[in-house]
Amino acid sequence: MTDSLKGMKRTDYCANFNTENIGQEITVFGWVQRQRDLGNLIFIDLRDRTGIIQLSFNDKTDREIFARAQSVRSEYVVAATGVVAKRESVNKDIPTGEIEVIVNDFRIVSKAKTPPFEIEKSEKVGDETTLKYRYLNLRNEKLTKNILMRHKIARIAREYFYDNDFIEIETPMMIKSTPEGARDYVVPSRIHNGKFYALPQSPQIYKQLTMIAGFDRYIQLARCFRDEDLRADRQPEFTQIDLEMSFVDCDDIMDMAEGFISRLMKETIDVEIQSPLPRMTFAEAMNSYGSDKPDTRFGMLIQDLNEWAGKTDFAVFKNTVEDGGSVKAIVARDCASIYTRKKIDKLTEHAKGIGAKGLAYIRWADEAPNCSFAKFLKDGELEALLSQLDVHQGDVVFIVSDKTRKALTIMGALRLIVAKELDIIPQDKWNYLWITEMPFFEQDEETGEWVAAHHPFTMPMEESIQYLDTDKSKVKAQAFDLVLNGTELSSGSMRITDVELQTKMFELLGMEQEEIDAKFGFLVDAYHYAAPPHGGMGIGLDRLAMLICKADSLRDVVAFPKVQNASELMSGAPSYIDDVQLDELGIDLKASDKNE
């Protein structure tokens, strides 16, 4: 039998008490983190979501209460009433380390089996076990703090946007399937057999309709779903701090977001973020960092060697330049002793794994630099290259040649790999950055075709509209991304509100009028009733929480996450449904599907 809580009311949470409460009688509830039985003394570390407080039992404690304390084990749920006292042995590792509770009433509310892992050390246990028992893993102090921080971020977001006259509007979770760049999760309809709803990849169309409806400032902590491969910073379901504004331009939206970021960082981790945030064009980011989400916390910028390479007789470099490609380099300072030939060979294999044809290098460890392509150079060419790159003894240069976009992307990835290996990325910097002047179209390197780089409602820059039919490489979007320490947090843009231009954009994406009407007819029709100029963005709440908590993965800031194959180990989702449900939905599975 377990004990009743009748007559006991919690005074406060465990970690909210301090030396000012000495002499007061309090009541606390929670889980037993640890019990130490020293014979005539028993100490219990009691844990709730805020932290730990020590319960103390001694030779003056009622014998029945003392016996209960002796019987408890880790993860029992207990309740205790007692007087706060100064602790003889101070524990500086916890906020309540100067006090303890001398218990006069103690009740065992719920008993626990021995957990499959030690809660305090769950980070050392494999994911398969901790995710199966996620409700236990969430009792771990680190994960508890992460979930509480995520809650705080959500609260601050709502308060900030409410303070700026935004209206929270919920958009549907079951919508019509419309192309947004990833696969939809679909929901079969029982009433309309053969038809399906889609779970929203974003509330994009609906939030634009709220602008047409006249609400002018919309906010929602929106659940979004994308059926795509997972990675550390991606889950199939995620949350956006989603906003839309009317009668604004890009600067207005970015200014509003900056106000939120400044308030958020100050109220969560007491970091001052200076506004306005730095801005960098997409072209500048790619040319210097090889990424549209650059990590600017360290240097090692990408440098262009085309002018030098075009004059050499080294065919690999020269031919690349003549074919319209690029030769790119990064200089790793003072690391020649670290990057031995063996380590460079390993980095070369890594480079090939991400698409490089090879990796040229210059390693200046001794008096003379060791250049992997020196035998192909004429007298003075190596010296000229070293001078151009400002290379000195102790430095290492890595060089890639390929089609320009590919060379930049590869070099951008190598820049991050090298920086991590050299441990030169500052961990206490918070480098927010806007990426602007985004290309409207991207060219497929294999087919040469131009495809849209954004959703089809993005407004081109006015000066670019003239090139829609003649030169897609010159078309830029009124779009922007928010980046933090190399992670993309948000994409935003101004939206198209002109019916003719929107129809043209659909056509440029290869849609016939019949398809446009079928997928987007309701939106196009809404434009005929007058739409205000509007735009917005969605800030990834999960990624923001991950970075602020300095977590390694989104799993660490999501209560019940999915694993790599999009399954949830605790509940066993996804799962089969019975034949009765399938019949109601008008779905007939193949025998092979049923037997898998």
The 3-class secondary structure across 165-226, one letter per residue, is CCEECCCCCCECCCCCCCECCEEECCCCCCCEEECCCCCHHHHHHHHHCCCCEEEEEEEEEC
Please state which of the ranges 170-179, 267-276, 277-286 shows the lowest mean pLDDT.
170-179
Tokens describing residue 508: 């440029």
Statement: residue 519 has pLDDT above 70: yes
534 touches 246 (CB < 8 A):
yes
Mean pLDDT (whole number) for 80-101: 95
The CA distance from 475 to 482, in Å, is 21
Cα–Cα distance list, 513 to 500, 501, 518 (Å): 12, 14, 9
The CA distance from 494 to 461, in Å, is 9
Confidence class for position 233, pLDDT limits 50, 70, 90: confident
The CA distance from 227 to 221, in Å, is 20
The CA distance from 356 to 316, in Å, is 13
Amino acid letter, 128: E
Pairing relationship of beta strands 51-57 and 99-110 according to DSSP bridges = parallel
**Contacts with 528 (C-beta within 8 Å, 6 or more apart), sequence order:** 499
Query: CB burial class (10 A; 0-12, 13-18, 19+) of residue 565?
Result: exposed
Mean pLDDT (whole number) for 227-251: 91
Query: CB burial class (10 A; 0-12, 13-18, 19+) of residue 477?
Result: buried
Statement: residue 593 has pLDDT above 70: no
In sequence order, the β-bridge partners of residue 13 are none
Mean pLDDT (whole number) for 162-183: 90
Q: How many residues does the chain have?
A: 596
The CA distance from 514 to 217, in Å, is 33
The radius of gyration of the chain from alpha carbons, rounded to an integer in Å, stands at 30
Between 338 and 589, the more confident residue is 338
pLDDT digits (tens, 9 = 90+) for 539-586: 999 999 999 999 999 999 999 999 988 999 999 999 998 989 988 888
The CA distance from 564 to 151, in Å, is 25
Tokens describing residue 79: 């309740």
Query: CB burial class (10 A; 0-12, 13-18, 19+) of residue 316?
Result: middle
Statement: residue 231 has pLDDT above 90: no
Tell me 470's DSSP state. Answer: T
Mean pLDDT (whole number) for 52-72: 96
Confidence class for position 123, pLDDT limits 50, 70, 90: confident
Tokens describing residue 260: 């939120």
32 touches 108 (CB < 8 A):
no
Mean pLDDT (whole number) for 369-379: 93
pLDDT of residue 592: 55
For the chain, what is the mean pLDDT? 93
> Phi and psi for 250 in degrees, rounded to 5?
-60, -40
540 touches 489 (CB < 8 A):
yes
pLDDT of residue 181: 66
380-417 CB burial, b ≥16 within 10 A, e <16: ebbeebbeebebeeebbbbbbbbebebbbbbbbbbbbe
> How far is residue 133 CA from its own chain's centroid?
24
448-469 CB burial, b ≥16 within 10 A, e <16: eebebbbbbbbbbbeebeebbe
H or E stretch including 479? strand 479-484
The CA distance from 297 to 433, in Å, is 11
Statement: residue 596 has pLDDT above 60: no
The CA distance from 273 to 489, in Å, is 16
H or E stretch including 415? helix 404-422
The CA distance from 151 to 245, in Å, is 25
168: nearest Cα among 107, 263, 116, 244: 244
Cα–Cα distance list, 11 to 27, 270, 499, 521 (Å): 5, 29, 61, 58
Statement: residue 367 has pLDDT above 90: no
Statement: residue 390 has pLDDT above 90: yes
Statement: residue 227 has pLDDT above 60: yes
Tokens describing residue 183: 């696969």
476 touches 464 (CB < 8 A):
yes
> How far is residue 422 CA from its own chain's centroid?
24
**Contacts with 52 (C-beta within 8 Å, 6 or more apart), sequence order:** 14, 15, 33, 45, 46, 94, 96
Amino acid letter, 541: L
The CA distance from 5 to 280, in Å, is 60
pLDDT of residue 527: 92
Statement: residue 121 has pLDDT above 70: yes
| Residue 13 neighbours by CB distance under 10 Å | 15
> What is residue 7's three-state secondary structure?
coil
339: nearest Cα among 271, 296, 293, 395: 395
> What is residue 244's three-state secondary structure?
strand
Mean pLDDT (whole number) for 332-336: 95
